[in-house]
């Protein structure tokens, strides 16, 4: 259920999705009319803006339909469908959306960034003499990612894009799996689909056969585990990646 007051600033509650439906004008005001200074990221769906709604910091994905094309619309519908059906403490929750004239998805702002940020800031923290996350803390974050993945797989969904940039950290440092726009529902042991994912994380067997299964997420998580625990980033050596890939794929 959305934390936003129904009727406030034009907000309504969608009876089908049970999340808030916002008029575009409300989201425009929340982001100071989509000022570029409020852009905090970009993805295949479009830019992500930081904003404020009802005194709460939010992140808003926006797709301008006129220039976004069919792929962006498909990702919007898929992410909306997934997050209105799936709710878990280790998934990034959906607060609301807008359908016209542009497509928008509204999430709580994750003030601690992502695992990608944690990996890439490590050297800077070491130079400043700051304490790094302990080994136990790193394992706990990864346990939370596993918890979210187990839930998604239990609902017959495969994420398809597990990587450090898509693991967000909330104000308490809890891991939240985000960016579910590529998520697909799997029927049976696998589903045939177009190969997608991020270079350096995507399961090569999935790319080769286009047969999508939970194993594809497990493969990506294996690489995430290796890089996070050993503080490797996306530029990890090919040898390290190959050894991890072999290890993950060799297990039953």
Among all residues, which ones are annotated catalytic? 161
Residue 123 falls in which region: left (phi positive, over 0), alpha (psi -120 to 50) or beta: alpha
DSSP E strand boundaries for 34-151: 39-42, 47-53, 56-63, 96-98, 103-108
Round to whole Å and give the CA distance between 24 and 21.
10
DSSP E strand boundaries for 64-108: 96-98, 103-108
Distance of CA 170 to the CA centre of its chain: 13
Tally: H helices and E strands in the chain: 7, 13
Q: Coil, helix or strand for 250?
A: helix
């Amino acid at each position: 259920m959305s934390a936003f007051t129904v009727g406030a600033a034009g907000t309504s509650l969608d009876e089908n999705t049970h999340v808030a439906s916002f008029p575009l004008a409300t989201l425009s005001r929340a982001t100071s009319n989509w000022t570029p200074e409020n852009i905090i990221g970009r993805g295949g769906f479009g830019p992500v803006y930081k904003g404020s709604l009802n005194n709460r910091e939010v992140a808003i994905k926006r797709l301008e339909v006129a220039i976004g094309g069919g792929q962006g619309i498909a990702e919007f519908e898929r992410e909306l469908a997934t997050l209105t059906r799936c709710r878990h403490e280790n998934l990034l929750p959906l607060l609301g959306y807008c359908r016209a004239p542009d497509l928008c998805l509204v999430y709580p702002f994750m003030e601690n960034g992502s695992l990608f940020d944690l990996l890439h800031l490590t050297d800077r923290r070491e130079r400043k003499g700051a304490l790094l996350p302990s080994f136990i803390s790193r394992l706990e974050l990864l346990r939370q990612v596993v918890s979210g993945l187990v839930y998604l797989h239990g609902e017959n969904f495969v994420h398809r894009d597990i990587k450090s940039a898509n693991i967000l950290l909330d104000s308490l440092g809890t891991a939240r799996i985000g960016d579910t726009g590529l998520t697909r529902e799997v029927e049976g042991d696998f589903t045939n689909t177009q190969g997608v994912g991020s270079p350096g994380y995507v399961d090569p067997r999935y790319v080769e056969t286009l047969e999508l299964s939970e194993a594809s997420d497990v493969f990506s998580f294996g690489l995430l585990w290796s890089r996070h625990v050993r503080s490797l980033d996306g530029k990890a050596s090919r040898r390290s990646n190959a050894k991890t890939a072999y290890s993950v794929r060799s297990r039953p």
